[in-house]
Structure 1
Amino acid sequence: MPSRSRQEWIRLSMRTPGILIFGMVLAPCGLILNLTSTVAPNWRTLTEFQNRPADEFLQQGIWEVCRASSINTRIDCSLQDATYFQQQIIEVARGLMVASLIVTLVGLAVAIPGVRCWKDRPNWILAGLGGLLIFLSGVMTIIPIAWYTHIFRTIPTVSINTAAPPNPAVQVGYCIILGYIGGIFEILGGLVMFIGICRCCGGKNRGETRVEEVTGTRFRNQKRPTRRVEVPSLDRARSSASSSIPYSKDSMDEDVSFPRAKSTAARTVNTSNGGRPYDVDL
Structure 2
Amino acid sequence: MPRRTAQEWIRLSLRTPGILIFGMVMAPCGWVLDLTATVAPSWRTLNNLPNRPTSEYIEQGIWDICRRTTSSPRGECSLEDTTYFGNEIIEVAQGLMVASLVVTLVGLAVAIPGVRCWKDRPNWVAAGLGGLLIFLSGVMTIIPIAWYTHILNDVTTVSPVIDVRVGYCIVLGYIGGIFEILGGFVMFIGICRCCGGRNRGEVRVEDARGTQFRQKPPPRPTIIPSLDRRSNPSTTVPYSKDSLDDDVSFPRAKSPGVRSVNTSYSGRPGDADL
TM-score, structure 1 normalization: 0.74
Residue 111 of structure 2 corresponds to residue 117 of structure 1:
no
Moved more, 80-89 or 210-219: 210-219
Residue deviations 1:75-101, cap 9 Å, x none? 111210000001000010000000000
Query: Pairwise CA RMSD of aligned residues?
Result: 2.4
Alignment counterpart, residue 198 of structure 1, candidates 192, 195, 209: 192
Q: Give the letter aligned to residue 24 of structure 2.
A: M
Q: Which residue matches 1:187? A: 181
Q: Which residue matches 1:95? A: 95
Q: Which residue matches 2:80? A: 80
Residue 163 of structure 2 corresponds to residue 169 of structure 1:
yes
SS in 1 for 2:74: coil
Unaligned runs of 5+ residues in structure 1 are 225-243, 248-282
Q: Which residue matches 1:108? A: 108
Matches within 5 A, 1:229-248: 246=240
Q: Give the letter aligned to residue 41 of structure 2.
A: P
Q: Give the letter aligned to residue 204 of structure 1.
A: R
Rounded to whole Å, the distance in 1 between the matches of 2:41 and 2:214 is 65
Rounded to whole Å, the distance in 1 between the matches of 2:240 and 2:76 is 105
How far off its partner does 1:209 sit?
Answer: 1.1
SS in 1 for 2:155: coil
Q: Which residue matches 2:34? A: 34
How far off its partner does 1:218 sit?
Answer: 5.7
Relative distance call for 1:49 and 1:222 in structure 2 (3 A) is closer
Unaligned runs of 5+ residues in structure 2 are 219-237, 242-274
Rounded to whole Å, the distance in 2 between the matches of 1:169 and 1:139 is 30
SS in 2 for 1:170: strand
How far off its partner does 1:68 sit?
Answer: 0.6
How far off its partner does 1:155 sit?
Answer: 1.3
Relative distance call for 1:211 and 1:48 in structure 2 (3 A) is same
Relative distance call for 1:210 and 1:5 in structure 2 (3 A) is closer
Residue deviations 1:31-78, cap 9 Å, x none? 000000000000000010111111110000000110011112321112
Relative distance call for 1:212 and 1:85 in structure 2 (3 A) is same
Residue deviations 1:101-136, cap 9 Å, x none? 000000000000000011111000000000000000
Residue 108 of structure 2 corresponds to residue 128 of structure 1:
no
How far off its partner does 1:167 sit?
Answer: 2.3
Q: Give the letter aligned to residue 138 of structure 2.
A: G
Q: Give the letter aligned to residue 77 of structure 2.
A: C
Q: Give the letter aligned to residue 190 of structure 2.
A: G
Q: Which residue matches 2:235? A: none
Q: Which residue matches 1:149? A: 149
Residue 10 of structure 2 corresponds to residue 16 of structure 1:
no
TM-score, structure 2 normalization: 0.76
Relative distance call for 1:121 and 1:58 in structure 2 (3 A) is same
SS in 2 for 1:49: coil
Identity value in percent: 70
Q: Which residue matches 1:212? A: 206
Rounded to whole Å, the distance in 1 between the matches of 2:49 and 2:216 is 81
Rounded to whole Å, the distance in 2 between the matches of 1:5 and 1:36 is 46
